[in-house]
Amino acid sequence: MTDSDAAIKTRDLCKSFGKVQACRELSIEVPKGITYGLLGPNGAGKSTLIRMLMGLHQSDSGTAELLGQPANHHTAELANRVGYVPELHFIYRWMTVNEAIGFVSRLYNDWDSTLADSLLDKFELPRKKRVSSLSKGMTAKLGLLLGLSHTPELLILDEPTSGLDPIIREDFLESVLQTHADGERTVFFSSHHVDDVERVSDEVGIMADGQLALEGSVEHLRQSVKRVSFVLEDGKLPSALHESIIHQKVDRRQWTTTLSPYSPEAVQELIATNDVQPTAEVIDLNLEEIFKDVVRGKSQTSARKAAA
């Protein structure tokens, strides 16, 4: 992918808060024109990454670009090309919905009043109600309206469905899908809800412990990540297998290992060289199972480092 094809590009991005390393050598490339879901548990570093992309946090090292421009230097031109919906809605809580829209519209050269009015009607937002009196779902929709109405090329949303009940979440995600219907806008959003990410994303990144652990389409992840269960009698794992482990559980002689990338050849080598009986069982995983094993594996690694 060339720089001109990337909506978001980071290289070895690091950020610490005191002794807490929120992002560790994080490299990510998001092509233009897709919906990219960044999946991770709370505390994984998702919001820190997004705040660095938006110029709200300065990285300790590494680089980040939005639409080919440095993310740590948000020019007026870049601000007009990028829409941002933060996790914590909403700053202007004393304003009415109409007043909030009027205030934000003056910040952008390309504000589309016709689009804003259309979204107001579509989302059934009460124009004269104060923002402080809106439900969480209505507040989330207002945030989406404000992020979209200057027609950005790139829309970045930080945990947009956090705190919403399932029905409102589904309605909100449908609205996000429709913003990307023409394929001309890139949508990048973070979430800890696996089903949200799976439903709307062309590409998925799984983040844990400040790092991007896995990345790809949902189908690619299902094909490349497998769980292998086998009985091992005082044998050794082939190096190719060992290097692919993202999570492992051992109960006496019974090993259950999640591999990425999964290699049939490495599993066959395991069987041939260690007299694994009766054979290794290869188990397909869904996205939620992959996500959980990535998080568990990162926790195991962190615990080993802390004990060393």
Q: What is the mean pLDDT of residues 294-307?
A: 70
Please check the confidence at residue 212 and state whether its pLDDT lies above 90: yes
- In whole angstroms, give the CA distance from residue 253 to residue 231: 5
Please check the confidence at residue 104 and state whether its pLDDT lies above 50: yes
The string of pLDDT tens digits covering residues 109-120 is 889 999 999 989
Helix (H, G, I), strand (E, B) or coil at 288: helix
Provide the sign of the torsion angle of the four alpha carbons 177, 183, 189, 193, taken in this order: positive
The string of pLDDT tens digits covering residues 135-166 is 888 888 898 899 889 989 999 999 988 878 88
Task: Identify the band that residue 307 occupies on the pLDDT scale cut at 50, 70 and 90.
Answer: very low
Please check the confidence at residue 3 and state whether its pLDDT lies above 60: no
Both tokens assigned to 12? 């070895």
List of domains in the chain: 6-216 (3.40.50.300), 221-307 (3.30.70)
The string of pLDDT tens digits covering residues 19-53 is 999 999 999 999 999 999 999 999 999 999 999 99
Beta strands in 165-290 (DSSP E): 186-191, 203-208, 211-216, 226-231, 245-251, 254-259, 281-284
Both tokens assigned to 178? 């429709």
Please check the confidence at residue 278 and state whether its pLDDT lies above 60: no
Whether 185 and 179 have beta carbons less than 8 Å apart is answered as: yes
Provide the sign of the torsion angle of the four alpha carbons 190, 295, 222, 244, taken in this order: positive
pLDDT at residue number 79: 87
The string of pLDDT tens digits covering residues 225-263 is 999 998 877 667 777 778 889 999 888 788 899 999 998
pLDDT at residue number 136: 84
pTM to 2 decimals? 0.90
Please check the confidence at residue 66 and state whether its pLDDT lies above 80: yes
Task: Identify the band that residue 2 occupies on the pLDDT scale cut at 50, 70 and 90.
Answer: low
